[in-house]
Amino acid sequence: MFFHHLFHNGSRCLAGKTRLRLHDKSMSNYRDGKLLNLFPAVATDRAGNVYIAWIDGANFHLYYAFSTDQGRKWSAPVKVNSGPAVTNEFDWAQGGSAGTLALAWYATRKTAQGGSDGMPNYLHDPTGAAAFPWFGYAALITGANTATPDIAQALRATDDERREGE
């Protein structure tokens, strides 16, 4: 998997004032997966730990990894979703106090060949799409910057708040 390496310094910077520079970086301990994301989810906590979250394009699970040295080295991937969150999409990340990471995403209990791309589109097949209800999920991860994080996942939507189809 490839992503951008983040670090702070005073030389050439992205957007002038952010003091962040981006470099391609390979995550050698995640060779077998397939990155599937329209929008990368990157966050930092108050201690400066960096987190990246992604949906795996082979199994459609949500993973994250962390760096305690501004992206020079990365942890092994940690699977986040569990239970009824089977096919996952559109993850968002927010760091908090040291070692605390919050993730939010959409998920469905259903699977299809090709993940959500293999599911009926609501505009073309509303009835078929209704068979694939999507719900909002959230996870609060404490100890997110350690090898033994605590992941508390919650369903964050009711039947009335779901989106249907892809």
- The alpha carbon of 67 is separated from its chain's Cα centroid by a whole number of angstroms, namely 15
Max avg pLDDT among 3-7, 9-13, 26-30, 126-130: 126-130
Mean pLDDT of the chain: 79
- Residue 83 is predicted with a pLDDT of 87
Residue type, 56: D
Residue 122 has pLDDT above 70, yes or no: yes
Average pLDDT value for residue range 67-86? 92
Going by C-alpha positions, the residue among 138, 135, 160, 140 that lies closest to residue 150 is 140
Q: Provide φ and ψ at 118, rounded to 5°.
A: -90, 0
